[in-house]
Structure 1
Amino acid sequence: MIPSGRFMGSGRKQTCMNCPGRIPILCLLALLCAVATGGCLSGERAGGEDIRPVRVEIDKGDIGPFYETAAAMDDRVVFTFVPTGANVSAYLVTYEVKREGSTVAAADGKRYEGISASHPIVIATGRSPGEVVSIAISIKTPDGEVVYESASSVG
């Protein structure tokens, strides 16, 4: 049986004072764990590419009656047109969506009902990684008054 607190074969009691090399190793190990944990908790993925949609505010300055966001993923793009007022309204929407210059979706005076900040106009289209997708849009009241026009692209 080995007596408690003794190191076999040395005949001396083992303490940290007798092992000066152990403290720097423990400090380095703690530092390595902190750095590794920090990397695991960051929002970035390995490779530096983030797959979450990115919100892009297209209109700068005075926000006007609508603001536009675009979420670009590898397989699709989602354009969202959000009214800034508190009212729920109907709108007539004319738009053309192009992928690499070719029209893939279009509407002329399409009626959208019940549009509000919590239920915006959403136009989505598929895409291949890296493709440029653009949209030209005109939003009118049911009386024909233009309240928002925009042309934007993501790629």
Structure 2
Amino acid sequence: MSKVSYYTAEGLKKLRDELKQLKDIERPKASQAIAEARDKGDLSENAEYDAAKEAQGLLEMKISKLEETLSTARLIDESQLDTSKVLVLSKVKIKNQTNGMEMTYTLVAESEADLKTGKISVNSPIGKGLLGKSVGDVAEIKVPSGVMKFDIVEISR
């Protein structure tokens, strides 16, 4: 049984758009490439045909994985979320106890994570360490170099 993943409306739309692109545009292209390679003659010595078949197999695998992800995806109603503790889609301002540096992250599903925009996965070490914490709590997060301690400064949506 696959585990349920929670997404924002934007993240879910991206997944659906990618699946539509793969099915409606990439799949016909792959079939066309196989047909063109088949027309070039002897299939036993046709590397182009083998490559096209392999590309089609990889495409079908990607489509299958996306369909599975979408089947377990759930949309989060942000207005119903509690802001007293860190949950999925929480925007959390944390302060590193060691160097005093403050950072703000939004906890999102793994496929929506993008560090450049401040979105980290709830499955990442920092994400897991922050879940369930409240303002004023200290999150102790195990990292390869030891344990980092962060003060929870602010939680918002």
Larger Rg belongs to: 1
TM-score, normalized by length of structure 2?
Answer: 0.18
TM-score, normalized by length of structure 1?
Answer: 0.19
Greater fraction strand: 1
More relative contact order, 1 or 2 (CA 8 Å, 6+ apart): 2
Greater fraction helix: 2
